[in-house]
């Protein structure tokens, strides 16, 4: 468990070793006189221009003058499963940036095996007096978990928003990618390349995103390749999240004769690539592999991974906006806001072998 308050560490002092006005002006694209007015807290500067000057100061690695620092509007908790999957830090970064832009101080809570549970993290956040909480891929995404914990949180007057994993028994705003559409995109791409035997490796089906991907996969096989739904379901392997799970699932799907494998995450896809190569086969010449997420380093894998991109920035921004409306006493609609993913074709998919 990690519980840390995301506040900047000391990087410098404007009074000693400060950058020249010319440096800041060049970085911000404004005049030195404008920089001087901003740094001295004087009026007569447009809000957008002031923001550019402060951003330039940040980029140059110097702290803002004390007079320009805003008091925090409050603490907002961010509860995520872990940091080993790069998609979670990607979400966390956008959420924290968006919160900071509105004057709130984010408090990041991550879970690790054997560490604090989600309920314990929430208790600690409440002790710190947070004004709201963002849950990313939490227990709300587990269909077997008791949703009453969120009802109790609401009864204590703590606003919250939930990302990835809709549960109609929880009365809250949800933000999700269209997991069914993601599976359909992947199947359609592989079918267009000529693949007829396609497999799916996903996490445990008690998780809503995995279940939805499975539903989209079976439906897409039926509509695109006329595969009976029962037969399509036989090409789904539910496994552990992560590289090891992808490796194990891919081995089974290869034994079933699959020439293409769709995975529920990029990390699982990397495991699938490893499994293909362990058999002396090549990606994509012998087997095509598709991931899901498109986390930052995925374009640099070998081969560069074809994947379905989660709209991280749009989803994270929408989640924060919904939470801040709740904090301000303007309840938003208790429903699921669904964002469309995007197929990103790279080097891990090709036509099947003859």
Summarize pLDDT for 284-337 with one digit per residue, the tens. Answer: 999 999 999 998 889 999 999 999 999 999 999 999 999 999 999 998 999 999
Mean pLDDT of 28-34: 90
Residues 2-68, CATH architecture: Orthogonal Bundle (1.10)
Per DSSP, 114 falls in state T
Which helix H or strand E contains 9, and what residues bound it? none
pLDDT at 89: 94
More confident residue, 161 or 44: 161
Reported residue count of the chain is 354
Whole-number pLDDT of residue 37:
87
Which CATH number applies to 74-177+312-339: 3.30.160.20, 3.40.50.360, 3.40.50.2300, 3.40.50.970? 3.40.50.2300
Residue 33 has pLDDT above 80, yes or no: yes
Confidence of residue 71 (pLDDT cuts 50, 70, 90): low
Domain ranges within the chain, ordered by starting residue:
2-68, 74-177+312-339, 179-310
Convert the pLDDT of each residue in 226-259 to its tens digit. 999 999 999 999 999 999 999 999 999 999 999 9
Q: Are both 2-68 and 179-310 of the same fold? A: no
* Average pLDDT along the chain: 90
Q: In sequence order, what are the residues at sequence separation of 6 or more whose Cβ sits closer than 8 angstroms to the Cβ of residue 35?
A: 21, 24, 25, 28, 53
Task: Give the pLDDT confidence score for residue 13 in this predicted structure.
Answer: 40
pLDDT digits (tens, 9 = 90+) for 174-224: 999 999 999 999 999 999 999 999 999 999 999 999 999 999 999 999 999
Burial 129-168 (b: 16+ CB within 10 A, else e): ebbbbbbbbbbbbbbebebeebeebeeeebbbbbbbbbbe
Can you tell me the mean pLDDT for 252-271?
98
Measured at the CA of 350, the angle between CA 348 and CA 351, to 5 degrees, comes to 155
pLDDT tens, position by position, 97-155: 889 888 889 999 998 777 889 999 999 999 999 999 999 999 999 999 999 999 999 99
**Can you give the pLDDT at residue 103?**
85
Q: Cβ(263)–Cβ(210) under 8 Å?
A: no
Mean pLDDT of 81-106: 90
Q: Which CATH architecture has domain 179-310?
A: 3-Layer(aba) Sandwich (3.40)
User: Which of these ranges, 52-66, 119-133, 265-279, 337-351, has the smallest mean pLDDT?
Assistant: 52-66
User: Rounded to whole angstroms, how far apart are CA atoms 194 and 255?
Assistant: 20
Buried b (16+ CB within 10 A) or exposed e, 225-249: bebeeeebeebbbbbebbbebbbbb
């Amino acid at each position: 468990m990690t519980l840390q308050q995301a506040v900047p560490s000391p990087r410098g002092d404007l009074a000693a070793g400060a950058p020249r006005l010319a440096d800041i002006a060049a970085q911000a694209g404004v005049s030195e006189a404008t920089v001087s007015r901003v740094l001295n807290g004087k009026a007569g500067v447009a809000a957008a221009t002031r923001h550019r000057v402060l951003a330039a100061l940040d980029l140059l690695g110097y702290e803002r003058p004390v007079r320009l620092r805003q008091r925090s509007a409050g603490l907002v908790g961010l509860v995520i499963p872990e940091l080993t999957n790069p998609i979670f830090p990607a979400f966390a970064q956008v959420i924290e940036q968006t919160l900071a832009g509105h004057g709130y101080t984010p408090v990041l809570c991550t879970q690790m095996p054997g560490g604090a549970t989600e309920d314990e993290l929430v208790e600690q956040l409440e002790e710190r007096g947070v004004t709201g909480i963002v849950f990313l891929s939490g227990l709300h995404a587990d269909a077997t978990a008791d949703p009453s914990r969120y009802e109790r949180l609401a009864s204590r007057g703590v606003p919250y928003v939930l990302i990835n994993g809709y549960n109609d028994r929880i009365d809250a705003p949800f933000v999700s990618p269209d997991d069914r559409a993601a599976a359909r995109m992947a199947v359609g791409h592989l079918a267009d390349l000529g693949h007829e035997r396609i497999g799916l490796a996903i996490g445990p089906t008690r998780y809503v995103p995995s279940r939805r991907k499975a539903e989209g996969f079976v439906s897409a096989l039926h509509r695109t390749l006329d595969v009976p739904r029962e037969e399509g379901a036989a090409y789904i392997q539910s496994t552990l999240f992560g590289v090891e799970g992808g490796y194990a699932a891919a081995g089974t799907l290869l034994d079933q004769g699959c020439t293409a494998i769709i995975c529920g995450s990029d990390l699982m896809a990397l495991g699938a690539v490893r499994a293909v190569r362990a058999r002396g086969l090549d990606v994509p010449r012998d087997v095509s592999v598709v991931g899901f997420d498109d986390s930052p380093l995925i374009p640099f894998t070998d081969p560069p991974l074809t994947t379905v991109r989660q709209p991280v920035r749009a989803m994270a921004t929408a989640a924060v906006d919904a939470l801040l409306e709740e904090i301000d006493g303007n309840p938003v609609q208790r429903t699921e806001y669904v964002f469309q993913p995007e197929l990103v074709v790279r080097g891990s998919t090709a036509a099947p072998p003859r």
